[in-house]
Chain A
Amino acid sequence: MATQVFAHGLGEAYKRKEDARFIRGQGNYVDDVQLPGMLYGDIVRSPYGHALIKNIDISEAMKVPGVVAVITGKDLDAAGLAWMPTLSADTEAVLALDRVHYQMQEVAFVVATSRYAAADGAAAVGVDYEPLPVVVDPKKALAPDAPLLRPDKKDKQPTNQIYHWETGEREATDAAFAEAAANGVVVRQEMYIPRIHPAPIETCGCVADFHKATGKLTVWMTSQAPHAHRTLFAIVAGLPEHRIRIISPDVGGGFGNKVPIYPGYVCAVVASITTGKPVKWIEDRTENLCSTGFARDYHIKAEIASEKDGTVKALRVYTLADHGAFDAAAQPTKFPAGLFHICTGSYDFKNAFVEVDAVHTNKAPGGIAYRCSFRVTEASYLIERMMDTLAYEVGKDPAQLRFQNFIKPEAFPYRSALNWTYDSGNYEAALQLAMKNVDYEGLRREQAEKRARGELMGIGISSFTEIVGAGPGKHFDIAGIEMFDSCEIRVHPTGKALARIGVQTQGQGHETTFAQIIAAELGMSPDDIDVEHGDTDTAPYGLGTYASRSTPVAGAATAIAARKVRDKAKKIAAYLLEVGEEDLEWEPGRFYVKGSPGKGKTIQELAFAAYTNCPPYLEPGLEAVNYYDPPNLTYPFGSYICVVDIDRGTGQVHVRRFMAVDDCGTIINPMIVEGQIHGGLTQGLAPALYEELSYDEDGNVLGSNFQDYLIPTAVETPHWETDKTVTPSPHHPIGAKGIGESSTVGAPQAIVNAVVDALAHVGVRHIDIPITPWKVWSVLKEKGLTSD
């Protein structure tokens, strides 16, 4: 049941609590942790995309001043740690034993007394490689004569294909396509969503500190999921879980990159246990881009069957997914392609069928949910591109075609053809607002005038639907652990509170937002509530922050825990005021006797009484904990409109205007929500126009640093405009849906649609991202549209 909340806290642009330390340079990131006697680790990595390891010679490295130890795969193998499980039922080499599967794969771990000595040692390790044929194209990986890239698992997987997965009604969908081919319209488009990287400005790293005497292992690490990581460390390393403490301190951006466990963490732990000293391992940028979790890399063929007027009937999608050398995709266990089958989007399809084939290549492992809820970005991209393709085919304005096919507001809760139950939505309202804000008709007139003058201007729409906030736990788990989340609240005698949450912030502002949730429920000031997270010894168990699940899941747990506190406070109030609970009314911050507003007790008075004058029939104290298993996912949505101008001389795309209308249900802190949207939009702009983590045929990474992997600066990034509609989630305690990823999901296709729209009149239907000036110029050249 959604509850209307009218109290302090919700809906206020409360300034962030966490800023105080960050603006003073007093954050505590992993690389800021320095312990007495600490050693440093550096990783020897493969220069080859695919090779046999013939020999590893550590003798010269051991002579380097300061080098304490060199750990190789053989050393780990002796302890049963050469391989570790991935989040997708594969195993991944911690340090390669006899074969490297991708460039920059981990081969040895050098431990030394300083960063510099560790790097010197790593440079002195001699590795003899015998290069093998490299496969970087997933289509070639499926060819019958392709070399088997994972001979270590040839018994259960005799080819490079990891899985075939399908969902939906194949026969009914095929029938709808046959009908449309005869009497309606069928549109098809192939599109590639390239491999990209989250590239948080802080790379991954850890400090592992094992105390032999107590058997306690403490690991400060860049972790978006500290509890899950603790459990995995316990399982993989065979350490008792109560003696493992993961601390995820301040984390400099995550975006999915810090969900998996990487070999460097494991090596640092092993090195600390081996040496008895704390060991720090921090990636450099090239290591981060080349070896840690990439995203996307989906080759998609999509088809829509519609009636002649553009009324959609069926969607059919085939995808070839490049998972790299190890299947380390970060997905809920039962969903190998994540939530990709949200791909019917905001539209009322009667039938749909989706197939995904995943394959190994000689590329880095990953397939993480980069600022998206498990492949939602890929899904949204394809359907929003396809709707434009259909619009051009049937001769309708892309906005008109969307209105025609939207799931109607009265249809919620809506069951999609691929069996998702959308909680709430009003897609028409969001698109109407976006169109009004940009004067859509005026833009179309301007476009027509410019076209007549030979100028290229395009308008792109994206009316996306997200699916976030996993669980429920019976359907969604990470490595078997159900995707619930948690909050524990302690109200101290003087009425100040400490809350600890199972999720973890990497910049989302949890310390502020979650304080506001409690403030609203208890009628306290957010200033009086401190929120802690990221330390597994103190925080309640939770699955962590990714896939926009913090507010939908842990936010719900927080509201419910606060209501438990309030319920107990009510019992205390009844005792103190000598009335029955049913005689009490609540107003923010205070219970009072019905009909006697002057006779009441504030939450602070009740907290004091909980410790000093507690009813004899109650336990003393004022605390509560909630573990929340959501009944359903939440479905944020929005409509974005992008306006671009294209330079006919250079092919350069200029994003002139970008209007983002988002609906994330109830808004807790509008300032933080808008900030999340700004950031997500920029991470949507990036793959649309700039970023791609490509490989050459020899398996060399071509985007291995920030001079080759182009993160947008303030110059490339437009002045984002935002607006909102509010359609609360009916099943979330405060109606919130989550906002962290909407704009990363929704933005790329708005930009691509705008570019294609600028060129649609000459028959252009698609350009693959990133849309570089070269690609656009090539199209202009082909169409005879270039100018000097």
Chain B
Amino acid sequence: MSTHHITVTINGTPYEGDVESRTLLVHWIRDTLRLTGTHIGCDTTSCGACTILVDGKATKSCTMFAVQAHGRQLMTVEGLEQNDKLHPIQEGFHQEHALQCGYCTPGMMMTSLALLQRNPNPTEHEIRVGISGNLCRCTGYVNIVKAIQFAAEKMRATEQVPVSAGEGGE
């Protein structure tokens, strides 16, 4: 098994290490770097619990090799809060009761961030389509939609500059 030396920036902090070719990005982030906020729910790119931003684009980190992240800018749930201040998306999820068991929440919030960076004023339908790559078994999505609307309004009001620029994606 060949190994590769990679350098990756996550939440503004540079990390480097040797990884096997087959090491999944999510395992490297969780098991090696111990950023355990990113979760694993399905192994088939279906549930979105492992969603992070890669160069600003929402990406399921269970379906990407760690070596593919070499040289990229990553953002995980741990990067949302800045200077002890919650991101509007985190606030929205708390205020609108958009989480229960909390397991899908980090991935859901990262997808929401990419969605709002792409479309700062989405309709309910656009939100539902935008998060349809992320499964939640607890909330029935109603309050997640409200949380994203909450965040959208707050981000527009404060003209929040996206933490990591990029065109976003699903």
Contacts and interface: CB of A to CB of B under 8 A. Distances in A.
A714 B44 contact: no
Nearest to A282: B40
A715 interface: yes
Given A26-B37, A201-B47, A705 B42 contact: yes
B97 to A, nearest CB: 5
A720 B93 contact: no
Interface in B72-131: 76-78, 80-81, 86, 90, 93-95, 97, 99-106, 109, 124, 127-129, 131
A31 interface: yes
Given A22-B105, A115-B27, A705-B44, A717 B140 contact: yes
Interface of B: 20, 22-23, 27, 30-31, 34-44, 46-47, 49, 76-78, 80-81, 86, 90, 93-95, 97, 99-106, 109, 124, 127-129, 131-145
Interface string A193-213: 000000111110000000000
Given A200-B101, A706-B47, 12 more contacts: A15-B97, A29-B39, A201-B136, A201-B137, A252-B41, A285-B47, A507-B99, A675-B139, A678-B141, A713-B132, A714-B129, A719-B124
Given A253-B101, A679-B139, A25 B106 contact: yes
B41 A679 contact: no
A705 B101 contact: no
Chain B binding surface SS class: loop
A509 B41 CA distance: 21
A15 B93 CA distance: 11
B135 A23 contact: no
A23 B39 CA distance: 13
A34 interface: yes
A27 interface: yes
A671 B22 CA distance: 44
A201 B103 contact: yes
Interface of A: 15-16, 18-27, 29, 31-32, 34, 115-116, 199-203, 250-255, 284-286, 506-509, 671-672, 674-683, 705-707, 711, 713-715, 717, 719-720
Contacts of A672: 97
A23 B94 contact: yes
B36 A675 contact: no
A519 to B, nearest CB: 18
A29 B43 contact: no
A349 B97 CA distance: 41
A715 B95 CA distance: 23
A23 B46 contact: no
Contacts of A284: 43
Contacts of B99: 16, 19, 22-23, 507
B100 to A, nearest CB: 3
B37 A19 contact: no
Contact of A34 (B31, B124, B134): B31
Contacts of A253: 100-101, 103, 137-138
Contact of A706 (B36, B46, B129, B140): B46
Contacts of B42: 201, 285, 705-706
B139 A713 contact: no
Nearest to A19: B94
B78 A24 contact: yes
Given A23-B93, A714-B131, A715-B129, A679 B140 contact: yes
A719 B149 CA distance: 14
A780 to B, nearest CB: 27
Given A508-B100, A713-B135, A720 B39 contact: no
Nearest to A678: B140
